[in-house]
């Protein structure tokens, strides 16, 4: 059970990092043409 919880937490962390990276890249792409 502990191993499953650790796996779930790791998976959630990876998912959160992926979403944050995508949002950050999207914001940078939108702000790029601005001076």
Residues in the chain: 35
Sign, CA torsion 6/11/17/23:
negative
Task: Tell if the pTM clears 0.95, that is, is over it.
Answer: no
12 vs 33: CA distance, rounded Å: 33
pLDDT for res 35: 63
* Segment (H or E) for 23: helix 2-31
1-35 pLDDT, tens digit per residue, is 889 999 999 999 999 999 999 999 999 988 887 66
Sign, CA torsion 13/17/22/24:
positive
Enclosing domain of residue 15: 1-35
Domain count, the chain: 1
């Amino acid at each position: 059970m502990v191993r499953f919880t650790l796996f779930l937490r790791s998976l959630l962390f990876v998912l959160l990092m992926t979403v944050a990276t995508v949002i950050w890249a999207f914001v940078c792409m939108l702000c790029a043409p601005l001076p």
